[in-house]
Amino acid sequence: MPCYKIDGVTPVVHPSAYVHPTAVLIGDVIIGAQCYVGPAACLRGDFGRIIMEEGANIQDTCVVHGFPQSSTIIRRHGHIGHGAVLHGCIIGEDTLIGMNAVVMDGADIGAESIVSASSFIKNRFTCPPRSMVMGTPGVIKRQVTDDELRWKQLGTQQYIELSRRCLNSLVECLPLNAEEPDRQSFVDTGHRPKI
């Protein structure tokens, strides 16, 4: 993976975490145990610190950054969907940030909350635990249900397992010219979109 030290500060990646080779880590980035960082994600710790706590995931094409002296923190089992942007904010434990959502400076998203896809969370927005946040700008719509939280937790567990799978078996290869007979498929975990 492209990993860069700046002003003497080097990223830290726990041995049980997986960072895709196309993800970029710069400077003051600390990635904890069992974390997953997806393809083309950019974690730029060249002004502020970025912390991923145990079991957190940042998916494909996410951008994480912050102003000087700020910290962008993704608490334990935080789940950051494809294309999201986090800037100088705190994502609570077991919280889901939906695809293409933007969470701005000083925002503090409470534990076990869900920020819906494509939401825009303004500077200094705060919400209590288990909030369902939607819209542009984001507003609290209601409480997250037990069923929704279980669904989120199952998805996060799949990313913890994906980090293990990638560490154990992901290798760069050339594509085949044709599909082989009896092509394998992945095990069906039963996890589906919440409709």
Model confidence at 193, in pLDDT bands (50, 70, 90)?
confident
Distances from the Cα of 15 to the Cα of 32, 56, 136, 175, angstroms: 9, 14, 38, 29
The whole-number pLDDT of residue 127 equals 97
The whole-number pLDDT of residue 195 equals 60
Q: How far is CA 85 from the centre of its chain?
A: 10
Is the pTM of the predicted complex or chain greater than 0.85? yes
